[in-house]
Structure 1
């Protein structure tokens, strides 16, 4: 037993679980750009504007925060006169410098303007009616495979005026030329514009910030004199190393009284994306321009901005709500690291105690520490229900809440189920995530596993970390139930696997619920394989190929049916099919491959790969695992082999076909391995159990 714990499963459970949890990149939760989510009963669709206004004036302010609004009486006074919200300004590159934000406005999709690992530079000047170094930015999109069609805004909308250096970038045509542009704001010119973009200048980091706030408020007042819709928005972070947070978004005048800004790209009241600004100026229909100026398909990333939610008439309460929301979106990622390291330290200390004493108490403590790691995969979601971001010291509150929930589930499962505590934790995770998915994923938003508003990833549905948790829970629960039925009927047991796994696939993949394209690609073949092994006991090459084909056909059918829906109601499935049919999928696939490979730029990625490979080898070569307890467990229950093989299949397919790469099976291992080891450790000695014994059995 000790050799098993020391050499294989413990390093896998602790290292893979902790490293994958906080090493998974932001985009891994979203797996790309946000797609329109069809209306559902759980997430109401945003209301459109009452009428299509003749003019939209966007005032962009790099670095404008809700703290600025709170500190400025002039900006505070605008809150009750506006639809309000926060705007996420993640662009294609690692930083959102001002140039990145303005280029994204120009393209209507996330663009890459700044140079990685360098400070934000000055905005390019305009000389001879053209933005200097424009071709450099065009080439940068091709270099990084962003697919951002620079110049789309100017080519798609006549008489879009620009004021200020950043507006020159946003309103430049595909060749970098600018028309209807002024170096400074001139309110008299607004009457001659169809729409307008105003660069209010980046907020100073220290001195001069108060004056900058007054300037912004003055610009809003002048822009309101022209008939139309004024959008005040943070357009980017002020510096490359700025603390990432959703910035300010205000829209004046409000339709139907002041409410919360939203769009179909986020489906979250009070939150929009930078690309929504372009979609709003273009009324949702941008001319399909590629970076070379050729007319080719290229959908907008964003959606027209609307409004939703209740009326608000208390500026102080609105500002407090937005500051609380920033805490909700900013704290999860750093606290995830802290919680992971705390649990890892507890496991190592408990392991050392057990290693040297092998006492009954140390065995129990070590098992509890492992189960706490399992409970962590539930706590990351349930913690959202506590509204911790409104508590004193939000970061510390989140840390305490997650650890408390993790320990509570570990203690409850151990008390009620003894050695089979893993069943209770897996069942709880399975049911919680199914219910959350059907309700529109309220527990995901802003959780440790889905911090989309900060990093521009998922704003709804299941991300990679959530899917990994659901996949492990579903397959383990399916194995437990099938073991209960298999002595009675293999057919009934196989049907139970299909029912339990199928429910997870439906909730994970259904648009408006999990909306997870990559997840069902990985989980479908795993469930089919597990059902087949449950029914027949073994598998032939022909059956294996058939399972693979069936999985591909099932996923393809779902994606094609979603594609047949109206364009503004498609999810990631239909959007991918549209890109595929239009021949516009190459950049998407290259970006996803680059994200998957990026994990191996440091030691954490290689450590995860080692842990994942060891875990997978243990499922297919049990006799080579140096633990009599594990070997006996593997042979003692009929459903152990199908369950472990299904877990490995899901992880392997997910690793090969998902932008999360090795992180996805690492997270699965971080959830499954501690539960398995806790089950093995809880027995004083390897038990001899007949092959017909149930998977759930007290010792």
Structure 2
């Protein structure tokens, strides 16, 4: 079967995707796991098992070449476009060179060609202001002056990006080449934006790649070439009525027309390669999208030899993503400057491209890149419906549970028992929903003909398995047994996922997306809320079992060991790498531990906890800062920003993002509904004289500790993370249904335990 047949046509793929893991033993295992995970992470290996991330910088073994760097930007070029039939030259170059997907996210969610070129110029996420967000505007035509040219209005681009939240220094790339004594060449208006120095000038300019020759490239250090053939297929609809121009629909372009355009593009790229001197570094980059929402585009590099490219034949990677086969747009700037031996003069947002092993045969390597992009598209299309469904399901659970508990006294005893049993199972299912959304990634649901339905079916199937485990063993007869199983499963799954590269979080509806590009490794904010809450509720359940047997000290020690391991894996650079997570989890863990130990919580003790939190995160950031620049995570980068006085911009951006999340009605409604149910329903006295929550506390006092710690972590997490309301919303999605399951058990015990002795005989029942 031909590679193009396996990859499928662009139209077929667009259609398919558009609808598109005794207390002493436990402590020992956690300690060993942390050691095993930390060792490879400190060596820089955070990728999939068996992958090699001891990567080397792109280039030949003997070091940087004396030849030029030629950066070819092809807006809209996807790996599904690269086939032996329609792009044979590009296919051969990719087979010989290093390849990967590139995340093209810029300062906005829509990456037009001008945004992409400005980001390459700045080495930071940049943007170009346009009249309508949905329509891309062309780059300005350079004003030719002799052999060079100047981009009109370049100072406006520089000023607006200097004022943006990313403070992108437009012109950095061209200026760094000029400061080194090199010459720049641009072919096309977009390329001029990418290659221009701080004044907006390039040393040599031609209108298109067809005007390039070996003579024009002689003496040039950096040549930036724009090949806009795919973009020209999708012009804006200028006759669209009162709302102004509208973006063209990709489905309006026949597949044959796109294939013909790809063949033309391929021939021009092959002609360009034939003009390159031996030793020149070629970089082909899908610098933006041709039309429609962002996807992952093509990244390819190699050294020119004869009429083709020389290796290394590998996947591209970088410290920005720490994933084989995936780099980000701003890595391009760092890689070009590193190859030329030029000093950018200031930190860039990207890291130098590296190489790592790729699958064999080559066709399989391309298929994996296509599939990864497909999964990202599916998740992006599914997220709105997924969270709408999550909110609806959670609110339905709360409403049904409130009604069942309000009508608790109605009907016969058998009927009441059945209603309460069903309520408990449903509550456990609601709490297991987040962890099920991660475990569902063990199933390739994105390859289904109907991905949204496949995603839902996968999540529900896994959810059912977790609930079955929770109610299958002898622990189902205890108040916190089923709760502890669900919370423990949540904790263990995400703990192990962090140990082995966070693959369950990548392209998960409750994880992170390489297209959105908020995070590429470590623990995301939503996953943090799920993990932290699961851990605190799990240690509350384990502590209850230990205290019931008179082993309070063992309960405290277990809580501290599990909690410390959790803080370490969340905050350790290369594992969780979550700055705000450490700040949020330590107070919640401290409150839970003090309540389990029977220690009074005072303002002085809380102040001491705050000092410990700040000290811990400062120490982690300083340790990361001491690592080489190319190995640092955002911990070390933030430490450098603090030392340089630039941290204010980052903090302001995160504060704005945090406050902006309050406008997300899905998550705000989810958090509000959970709090109302917790304090207005479960804590409301009924005909059993006290609220169900208070009755549950009498049977299991440590439940209060776990729930209180979870609420503290959720509150601090809301203030310390740019995801804002998402932290309490997801934390309560786990904590409140788990608490409900314990409250239902307490009500069921009322059927069996005399009302006069709610604290005495229940211990006998559980034992």
TM-score by length of 2: 0.78
Check 1:692–1:658 CA distance in 2 against 1; reply closer, same or farther (3 A cut).
farther
Shift of 1:646: 1.1
CA distance in 2, matches of 1:337, 1:606: 14
> Quick one: which of 114, 122, 134 aligns to 2:154?
134
> Quick one: which of 56, 72, 79 aligns to 2:94?
79
Aligned to 1:400: 457
Query: Within the alignment, does 1:117 sit opposite 2:133 as a pair?
Result: yes
Aligned to 2:654: 592
CA distance in 1, matches of 2:392, 2:644: 51
Cα deviation 1:64-112 (Å, max 9, x = unaligned): 1223224724344443233222111001113111111000000011112
CA distance in 2, matches of 1:613, 1:352: 16
Cα deviation 1:288-328 (Å, max 9, x = unaligned): 56xxxxxxxx411111212212354443x344322222222
Q: Is the 8 Å Cα contact of residues 82 and 251 (structure 1) preserved in structure 2?
A: yes
- Give 3-state SS (helix, strand or coil) of 1:331's partner: helix
* RMSD over aligned Cα atoms: 3.1
> Quick one: which of 139, 142, 165 aligns to 2:189?
165
CA distance in 1, matches of 2:91, 2:677: 55
> Quick one: which of 224, 235, 238 aligns to 1:197?
224
Cα deviation 1:23-48 (Å, max 9, x = unaligned): xxxxxxxxxxxxxx864455323233
Shift of 1:472: 0.6
Shift of 1:286: 6.2
- Give 3-state SS (helix, strand or coil) of 2:338's partner: coil
Cα deviation 1:459-496 (Å, max 9, x = unaligned): 11111011111101111112122223346354443222
Query: Within the alignment, does 1:385 sit opposite 2:399 as a pair?
Result: no
CA distance in 2, matches of 1:148, 1:202: 28
> 1:36-115, aligned counterparts within 5 Å?
39-43=43-47, 44-48=53-57, 49=59, 50=61, 51-54=63-66, 55-70=68-83, 72-74=86-88, 75-115=90-130
Query: Within the alignment, does 1:223 sit opposite 2:272 as a pair?
Result: yes
> 1:173-572, aligned counterparts within 5 Å?
173-185=197-209, 186-188=212-214, 189-201=216-228, 203=230, 204-205=233-234, 206=253, 208-225=257-274, 226=276, 227=278, 228-239=280-291, 242-253=292-303, 257-283=312-338, 287=343, 298-310=346-358, 312-315=360-363, 317-342=364-389, 352=400, 355=404, 359=415, 360-390=417-447, 393-416=450-473, 417-418=475-476, 420-486=481-547, 488=550, 490-572=552-634
Q: Is the 8 Å Cα contact of residues 328 and 446 (structure 1) preserved in structure 2?
A: yes
Shift of 1:543: 1.4
CA distance in 1, matches of 2:621, 2:679: 33
Shift of 1:248: 1.5
Cα deviation 1:382-423 (Å, max 9, x = unaligned): 222233344555444333212210122112212324353221
Check 1:475–1:378 CA distance in 2 against 1; reply closer, same or farther (3 A cut).
same
Aligned to 1:26: none
Instruction: Structure 2 unaligned segments of length 5 or more: list them.
Output: 1-40, 48-52, 235-252, 304-308
Check 1:179–1:406 CA distance in 2 against 1; reply closer, same or farther (3 A cut).
same
Shift of 1:202: 5.3
Aligned to 1:676: 739
Q: Is the 8 Å Cα contact of residues 347 and 366 (structure 1) preserved in structure 2?
A: no
Shift of 1:525: 1.8
Q: Is the 8 Å Cα contact of residues 280 and 305 (structure 1) preserved in structure 2?
A: yes
Shift of 1:572: 1.8
- Give 3-state SS (helix, strand or coil) of 2:316's partner: strand
- Give 3-state SS (helix, strand or coil) of 1:192's partner: coil
Structure number with larger C-alpha Rg? 2
- Give 3-state SS (helix, strand or coil) of 1:455's partner: coil
Cα deviation 1:429-455 (Å, max 9, x = unaligned): 111222222222232222223333111
- Give 3-state SS (helix, strand or coil) of 2:56's partner: coil
- Give 3-state SS (helix, strand or coil) of 2:348's partner: coil
How many residue pairs align between the two structures? 651
CA distance in 1, matches of 2:42, 2:336: 22
Larger RCO: 1 or 2 (CA < 8 Å, sep 6+): 1
Shift of 1:365: 3.5
CA distance in 1, matches of 2:354, 2:617: 32
Q: Is the 8 Å Cα contact of residues 104 and 294 (structure 2) preserved in structure 1?
A: no
Check 1:255–1:594 CA distance in 2 against 1; reply closer, same or farther (3 A cut).
farther
CA distance in 2, matches of 1:82, 1:695: 68
Aligned to 1:632: 695
CA distance in 2, matches of 1:681, 1:340: 27
Q: Is the 8 Å Cα contact of residues 151 and 173 (structure 1) preserved in structure 2?
A: yes
Cα deviation 1:129-187 (Å, max 9, x = unaligned): 43222233223224432111111001111213211111110112223233222222213
CA distance in 1, matches of 2:157, 2:748: 65
CA distance in 1, matches of 2:138, 2:54: 39
Aligned to 2:27: none
- Give 3-state SS (helix, strand or coil) of 1:247's partner: strand
CA distance in 2, matches of 1:347, 1:257: 51
Check 1:402–1:421 CA distance in 2 against 1; reply closer, same or farther (3 A cut).
same
TM-score by length of 1: 0.85
Q: Is the 8 Å Cα contact of residues 374 and 425 (structure 1) preserved in structure 2?
A: yes
CA distance in 1, matches of 2:110, 2:532: 33
CA distance in 2, matches of 1:342, 1:178: 52
CA distance in 2, matches of 1:94, 1:256: 33
CA distance in 2, matches of 1:155, 1:343: 50
> Quick one: which of 726, 730, 748 aligns to 1:663?
726
Q: Is the 8 Å Cα contact of residues 329 and 451 (structure 1) preserved in structure 2?
A: no
Cα deviation 1:237-286 (Å, max 9, x = unaligned): 123xx133211122234665522122221121111111111111100776
